[in-house]
A = this chain, B = another copy of it.
């Protein structure tokens, strides 16, 4: 019941792009450096995110990547779905193209998996990149106040 590094690294990178939103294209190398990820590996992940319509790219020198929408319009769920596939702990209750088993009609377990899936969906869809940026700002502010008044 773990995320792969795709999901982790991918959300890191998206958060980084969200923090730098509005500053033009951000070179992937700088994202990889800040987040401590192999640039070449991150390249593969960002390609997935681009094909999912979550980031845009600008080629050539001074190029890079940027969010395709406002941070407030991208949820953690969008990112995780793009990188990890449809949400669901078990194939028979995936959001997209669930793999039905023979006894799906009567399966009591299916009910359990659906309930867990729905609670995950609720959580990931309720957090946007903007929320994460806001929290980062809030922390920076309170750290500043602390240093100022000490």
**What is A's interface to B at a CB cutoff of 8 Å?**
1-3, 7-8, 11-12, 15, 76, 80, 84-85, 87-91, 106, 108-109, 111-112, 115-116, 118-120, 122-124, 127, 132, 135-136, 139
Contact = CB atoms under 8 A, between A and B. Distances in A.
Given A2-B90, A3-B1, A90-B3, A116 B112 contact: no
A29 to B, nearest CB: 20
A1 B89 contact: yes
Nearest to A77: B116
21 contacts: A1-B1, A1-B2, A1-B3, A1-B80, A1-B88, A1-B120, A2-B91, A3-B90, A8-B109, A15-B109, A76-B112, A76-B116, A106-B139, A108-B135, A108-B139, A109-B132, A111-B132, A118-B123, A119-B120, A119-B122, A120-B120
Contacts of A3: 1, 89-90
Contacts of A91: 2
Contact of A132 (B84, B108, B135, B136): B108
